[in-house]
Structure 1
Amino acid sequence: MSVPVHEQIAESLRSAIRTGDLAVGAPLPSEAQLCERWRTSRAPVRQALAALRSEGLVGGGPGRPPVVRRATLVQPFDTFLSFSRWAHLIGAEPGQRTLECALRPAPAQVADAMGLEPGDRVVQLLRLRSVDGVPAMVERSTFTAAVGRVLFDRDLDAGSVYSYLVADGLRVGPARHVIDAVGADEQDAELLSTPVGAPLLRERRTACTEDGTVFEHSDDRYRPDRVVFTIDNSPDGHPAPGRTWGAAAPAAPGPGRGDRA
């Protein structure tokens, strides 16, 4: 199925913002220029610009040319479990560097979150996640030993963790997410190139199998000048119809279901 023209236009502009071809404060091409470039009418162009405005990437209104307002990456809640999938959806290149993958006794706080006994064996994973080569998030994931053991035989810098787990038979179910702010500790500061104590967006996730058994608990910390979270809803609790999600990147890579990379 072909991608609608307005989505192609919107993604092209997001990519230009992400790469810096359109810097913060720069004007976007005029509607006439976009119509000529894409060989289309003004309707798809205006729909694309409306999507970028709703995402907060561009500003300007009737009679004023749209300009780039920010270039922060947007992480929508419908892809929160998959950092890699989200990055690919916005046309960015996800990256990861595995710093640790270890089998050890579960710390008390993690054991409590996962419904385990303190000291039960778990697999803990520490990775630095990036978007287009720019550090964006420190990922600390804990898996039950039965689920996580498969990761010791996989290249965690080359593939999706969840893809490995699903291929091994894991049936992913619902997840609960708690989002707050936390000051960067020394490890966060070093990995994300930010001062100790600098505010980070934190997402703590507890993920279950289809039968409700907890298999993962994570603590992911994002640089807020690299990634922001978005929620889109309607009075009936369903996503707004016709919503187009996207993002722009470094200058200024999540949410509810899906699979995590």
Structure 2
Amino acid sequence: MDSTPMPDPAFAPVEADGAHPPYVLVRDALAHAIAAGTLPGGSRLPSERHLCTQLAVSRGTLRRALGALRELGVIEASERRGWQVRTAAFSHAAGGAALEGFTALNHDLGRAVTAKVLQSRTRRASSAESDLLDVESGATVFELRRLRFLDGLPVCLTHDLVPRAVAAGIGAVDFTTGSLFAHLASTGHAPATARFSVRAAPATADQAPALDLAVREPVLLTVRTSLDAAGAVVAHTREAYRADRYELRLTLG
């Protein structure tokens, strides 16, 4: 067996863009390498000297970027191995996820957010859906199904139901890059509170190929009912996340 250690990955020097501090550019470069699998979950980060040389930044800038990645839950400090990539490559707090939305939250973290629209249509709600959305039976709803990507990697499948009454013009939105929550905000129905739950389950035959998983590999299933400031339900969302690319963090008390 060849025991020759793998060489440390190469990085392009970060270039100032005038809009972001250097540490943010370094943070985003490392986050992209982690998301893309160049630095896989459980692996040790290259030495600070190597990273500083490759990225052409000072030790202070690098350490600030590493601290930011730790705060995001992307890396962790190990007494024996230095900085180590956490197994879950994408991480966020439930409060932000519930109220800010997937697109805005991940844009704020420097991630490229895109989607493949699997279904987009207006139809009548079933009796059960009418109860979920607190609308009259048979009310018109907008249904949206997407496969969502972060930095080009498939992360989750989403299924949204929105009462048509709160979503004027929604059919014209390009949801390959557009945000459902941003559109709701533009119509005066920004989510203000939410009921949120999460559980683990094996991937189904439909979910597995979309998320590049084997059938019955673990996924995390979330259900979120979003309400506006007046207490009206504005969206009911079901999501299936790859368990190795998603981490949910809660602050209790």
TM-score in terms of structure 1 length: 0.72
* Residue 141 of structure 1: aligned partner: 160
* Letter matched to residue 76 of structure 2: V
Deviation at residue 230 of structure 1 after TM alignment: 1.6
Q: Is 1:60 aligned with 2:85? A: no
Distance in 1, matches of 2:216 and 2:145, equals 20
Please tell me whether the aligned partners of residues 59 and 69 of structure 1 are also in contact (alpha carbons under 8 angstroms).
Answer: no
Deviation at residue 98 of structure 1 after TM alignment: 1.4
Please tell me whether the aligned partners of residues 36 and 153 of structure 2 are also in contact (alpha carbons under 8 angstroms).
Answer: no
Q: Structure 1: which 5+ runs fail to align?
A: 238-261
* Residue 76 of structure 1: aligned partner: 93
Q: Is 1:18 aligned with 2:35? A: yes
Distance in 2, matches of 1:24 and 1:205, equals 28
Matches within 5 A, 1:84-99: 84-99=103-118
Deviation at residue 2 of structure 1 after TM alignment: 8.3
Matches within 5 A, 1:182-201: 182-201=201-220
Higher relative contact order (Cα pairs below 8 Å, separated by 6+ residues): 1
Distance in 2, matches of 1:172 and 1:101, equals 21
Distance in 2, matches of 1:150 and 1:186, equals 34
Offset from partner CA, 1:97-117 (integer Å, 9 cap, x none)? 112122222233322222234
Cα distance change of structure 1 residues 213 and 184 upon mapping to structure 2, 3 Å threshold: same
The alignment of Structure 1 onto Structure 2 pairs a total of residues equal to 231
* Letter matched to residue 219 of structure 1: R
Deviation at residue 211 of structure 1 after TM alignment: 0.8
Does the residue aligned with 2:82 lie in a helix, a strand or coil? Answer: coil
Distance in 1, matches of 2:49 and 2:213, equals 42
The alignment's C-alpha RMSD in Å is 3.1
Q: Is 1:164 aligned with 2:183? A: yes
Instruction: Give percent identity, aligned residues only.
Output: 29
* Residue 226 of structure 1: aligned partner: 245
TM-score in terms of structure 2 length: 0.74
